Structure 1
Amino acid sequence: MDSTTALQIAVLINSPSFNEFCHAVRQSFSDAFRIVAPAAQVDFYDPVVEGYFPRPQDCDLIVLSGGKADASSSEPWVLKLLDFVRVAARDSPRTQIMGICFGHQTVARAFGGEVAAVSTGPIAAIQDVNLTEVGKKFFPFAANSGYYVHPEFQNDLVKKLLLEEDDVYNGNSSRQQLELEVRKLDQSMDGIDLLRRVIQWVKE
């Protein structure tokens, strides 16, 4: 793409827009993109309640956020989101799509992947990730560290998620386990570096 053109980024927030946590996630995305792409135009969409989607051909990057829904469900809005991803990829091949957590599962399902709920239920945790060889090439700076975080998640937001949110996320963890996860936030993480690499990918 033309390096002088401002990036057009659409972020689909896959949580009800009236939820306070949803507003915090939106602000965190804004802050993260302001760091890695300060000139970008970042717009937010609500596919859950409003059924509001961007025009893929107008976007350089479409981001599907995380959320509390089951990506394997047949809820009408989830099915509509799957259709949106398929159409965007088919009709706007130059538009890049990034899925995070629920969004990642949605992208996988949209293209034939199988998504199933974990038998033990959702687990809130900060964990190491083993990259594939393709992943190591895409994120060369992280090939040996293996420690990542959602690029939009800042420490305060993670603490809110782990300690204050309802049990959709943390109901299977004890308070002691959750506090242990919070202490991990003192470690170095690669979230912003990951997002910066994604922006570079969009410009390639």
Structure 2
Amino acid sequence: MTAQTLRICMLNADVPVPAVANTRAPTYGRIFHHLLLSAATTLKITPSITITSTDFDVTRNEYPTSLSEFDAIVISGSASSAYDDLPWIRKLTTWVRSAYACHPRVKIFGSCFGHQLVCHALLGAYGVKVEKDGKGWELGVKEITLHDRFRKTFGKGLEGQKEVVDALRLQFVHHDHVVIPEMDALPASWMTVGNTWHCAVQGVYEGGRVFTLQGHFEFDRFVNSETIKFFFPTWQPKVLEETLEMIDADDDSVVAATMVLEFFLNDVEQKTATYAVAGGLLTPPLRE
């Protein structure tokens, strides 16, 4: 990546609901793009950074011809599940594995479904699963307690050793979750980001390579409210009202967007496991 340009490959795994698409942006990629531009202004980066991005609709099997043209990948949320046996999800899973194995300089970020898909693709060999959450839906603005190891490790890559906040409040709308059987089952370079009372795995992180969040920093009150109203038109009025009240709260989307941009722009010294690609699929390394 050059000093002045960040080139992002936006993988759209769904489209915004009509009320959002018609008033905000036609794709999640455009929403992410605007938020990251805003974060760049907040950070006052010197020299100034130019952010370019290209949308790809992976549900229609759209992908870049080469990742050499990009510095980072963003995988959006979706109404689908990472474990759905659909051709486009199988292809995306294989593509993410190949991107991780063959393009170590390209960083990967996933939001909600994107978080779950990355865990499914890259950590499934270690017993990590994506499944329906027995507690049901996690909705509205919730507080994520960030784990100490993540805060300390992520902070090492930031200019001036900035201190990472200890909690984030983000918008949520999900009923699937990532399950890690045991923390020591993960490769040594990987860690969890944080947890809420509802969901134990609120993201994963591998320094300089991968960062995911279960919550939606790209959602605000309007986006999440319209999403809920679109997908759940038959909810009882009282239930819908209570959910919309949980959505109508302040969040830390600006802080989260800034963290994602810092992840894209900063390199962290880390020991990277080497993956071999065989027949288009990853063969995971032996654990130490």
**Pairing partner for 2:105 from 90, 94, 98:** 94
| Unpaired runs of at least 5, structure 1 | none
Instruction: Considering Cα pairs closer than 8 Å and 6+ residues apart, tell me whether 1 or 2 has the greater RCO.
Output: 1
Task: Tell me the number of residue pairs that the alignment of Structure 1 and Structure 2 aligns.
Answer: 196
How far is 1:141 from its partner?
4.1
Instruction: Note if contact 1:56-1:62 (Cα within 8 Å) is conserved in structure 2.
Output: no
The two structures have a TM-score, normalised by structure 2, of 0.60
How far is 1:186 from its partner?
4.8
Instruction: Note if contact 1:8-1:61 (Cα within 8 Å) is conserved in structure 2.
Output: yes
| Correspondence 1:27-176 to 2 at 5 A | 27-37=30-40, 39-49=50-60, 51-54=61-64, 55-111=66-122, 112=124, 113-119=128-134, 122-137=137-152, 138=154, 140-143=163-166, 145-149=167-171, 150-162=216-228, 164-167=229-232, 174-176=236-238
Show CA shifts across 1:165-201 (max 9, x none): 123xx87x64334333433455331112111122112
Instruction: Note if contact 1:142-1:190 (Cα within 8 Å) is conserved in structure 2.
Output: no
Structure 1 pair 11/37, CA: closer, same or farther in 2 (3 Å)? farther
Query: 1-side partners of 2:67 and 2:27: how far apart?
Result: 25
Instruction: Note if contact 2:141-2:249 (Cα within 8 Å) is conserved in structure 1.
Output: no
How far is 1:101 from its partner?
0.5
Matched, 1:189 2:251: yes
Structure 1 pair 191/66, CA: closer, same or farther in 2 (3 Å)? same
Instruction: Note if contact 2:168-2:256 (Cα within 8 Å) is conserved in structure 1.
Output: no
The letter of the residue matching 2:217 is P
Q: Which has the larger radius of gyration?
A: 2
In terms of fraction of residues, the more helix-rich structure is 1
Query: 2-side partners of 1:122 and 1:187: how far apart?
Result: 18
Matched, 1:13 2:19: no
- The secondary structure found in structure 2 opposite 1:188 is coil
Identity, in percent, stands at 23
